[in-house]
Amino acid sequence: MSTQAQTLQEALQEARARYAAANPRSRAQNAAAAEFMPGGNTRTVLFSDPFPITLASADGCYVNSLDGGRYIDYLGEFTAGLFGHSDPAIKQAVQQALDSGWVRGGHIPQEAELAAIICKRFPSIERVRFANSGTEANLYAIQTARAITGKNKVVVFEGGYHGGVFVFSGARSPITAPFDFIVAPYNDWEGTLALLEADKDDIACVIVEPHQGSGGCIPARPAFLKHIEAWTREHDCIFILDEVMTSRLAGGGLQEVHGLKPDMTTLGKYIGGGFSFGAFGGRADIMERYNPQRAGYIGHAGTFNNNVFTMCAGAAGYGKVFTPDVAAELSARGDRLRARLNAIAAGASFPMQFTGLGSMMNVHMCPGEIASVRDHARANLPLRDLFYFDLLDQGIWPARRGMLNLSLPMGEREFDALADAVAGFVEKRKGLQT
């Protein structure tokens, strides 16, 4: 059957069959894992129907599968893989950690080093504390806001993602953290204001991503963020900026780009050099409540808050490798690549676009502006699925939901490969549009 004559469903079926035939070891691995792990999985976002490909190793900006596939790593561990897999400065720091013992149970010099780097880059972060994930960082930030304001409600946004228990896309998960959430419309200040005003005396905090990552790489309008900042300031309410993903977009994160001064910021992902990491920080008067030298301080525990690998890899990677100049350069490269991909889709009048900022992007199979998850609800999801399988065929490793992230080791060769794969997809699949 010629491709032109195929329906989208037929093409998808064929792609899935090809995927299954090409990855028998991964299929067997998943079946074996399923005996002890639900679905053979411990991280939902990595599950991929009909079964996920198992990765055997990684190097530079490439990942290698159990079935012998070699892929350019455009998933980039959902932004935590910024340094790629072989950064020499991080390797050296980890080797030193290995040589000097890694479960010490005491303060270590690198935690202060990493804290100083963060506070210097983010003027709004006067004091910082570490955690083990972005989820944990957000949990602490929200609880801090509730504790210090004595208020109860937490404002989040449609399409927002702040961790496994803070998912605000689609149906509400039964394991959502048990806070009294108000879910406001993203990028819609009037709609948000109405909700804020209705509950203004009991809102502890507003937490927002300045560019929704998991929600589909949707940048916030700068004025929208400014309105939130001003309203929270006027209402004795804590403005939490979740920069777990977006801190990579500039030396001082998107708050630097937009001139924001949140009361609290949360961080995570790549800042630990590729090891488990989370951080929450902000105004000194807020964070000093955690100072154990003060009477009535708030305790913040966590066996691995200052784990040696994270602190050493983070101080080396974030401090020495990912300098503000490098951050600016990576964002510029990402902007150029995204423009190039969009030009390919537009040139072919293919209903496909890449949204995002800098080194983060997401494909959407629909035309028109995407300002919130409501806008990409009209996208063609089976076509996005087909794009996923076609990219794999071309040696590109994307997120199943269409997210693509740059990493530092990537160069023109890898950018050309993605652009060629997108051009090939558009050419091959244009007959499937109707």
- Tell me which residues touch ligand PLP (CB under 6 A): 78, 133-135, 138, 161-163, 209, 213-214, 242, 244-245, 268, 278
C-beta atoms surrounding 108 within 10 Å: 19
In terms of C-beta density within 10 A (0-12 exposed, 13-18 middle, 19 or more buried), how is residue 428 classed? middle
Spatial distance between the Cα atoms of 288 and 292, rounded to a whole number of angstroms: 9
- For the record, the structure tokens of 81 come out as 């893989």
Q: Cβ-closest residue to ligand PLP?
A: 134
C-beta atoms surrounding 315 within 10 Å: 25
Choice between 312 and 360, CB closer to ligand PLP = 360
Alpha carbon separation from 241 to 232, 244, 380 (Å, rounded): 12, 9, 31
Residue at token pair 């030396």? 251
Identify the CA nearest to 74 among candidates 277, 374, 334: 334
Choice between 345 and 403, CB closer to ligand PLP = 403
User: Are the C-beta atoms of residues 110 and 166 closer than 8 Å to each other?
Assistant: no
Q: What are phi and psi of 423, to 5 degrees?
A: -60, -40
Choice between 52 and 216, CB closer to ligand PLP = 216
Preceding amide of 382 cis, omega within 30? no
CB of 278 to ligand PLP, least distance (A): 6
CB of 274 to ligand PLP, least distance (A): 12
Choice between 386 and 399, CB closer to ligand PLP = 399
Choice between 64 and 176, CB closer to ligand PLP = 176
CB of 160 to ligand PLP, least distance (A): 8
Identify the CA nearest to 219 among candidates 340, 371, 368: 371
CB of 322 to ligand PLP, least distance (A): 17
Q: What would you report as the CA-atom Rg of the chain, rounded to the nearest whole angstrom? A: 22
CB of 18 to ligand PLP, least distance (A): 30
Choice between 15 and 240, CB closer to ligand PLP = 240
The SS3 call for residue 278 is strand
CB of 262 to ligand PLP, least distance (A): 14
Choice between 29 and 187, CB closer to ligand PLP = 187
CB of 232 to ligand PLP, least distance (A): 18
Identify the CA nearest to 216 among candidates 385, 407, 363, 75: 363
User: Are the C-beta atoms of residues 87 and 317 closer than 8 Å to each other?
Assistant: yes
- For the record, the structure tokens of 23 come out as 């990855």
Choice between 169 and 394, CB closer to ligand PLP = 169
Spatial distance between the Cα atoms of 262 and 391, rounded to a whole number of angstroms: 39
C-beta atoms surrounding 284 within 10 Å: 12
CB of 425 to ligand PLP, least distance (A): 26
Choice between 229 and 390, CB closer to ligand PLP = 229
CB of 134 to ligand PLP, least distance (A): 2
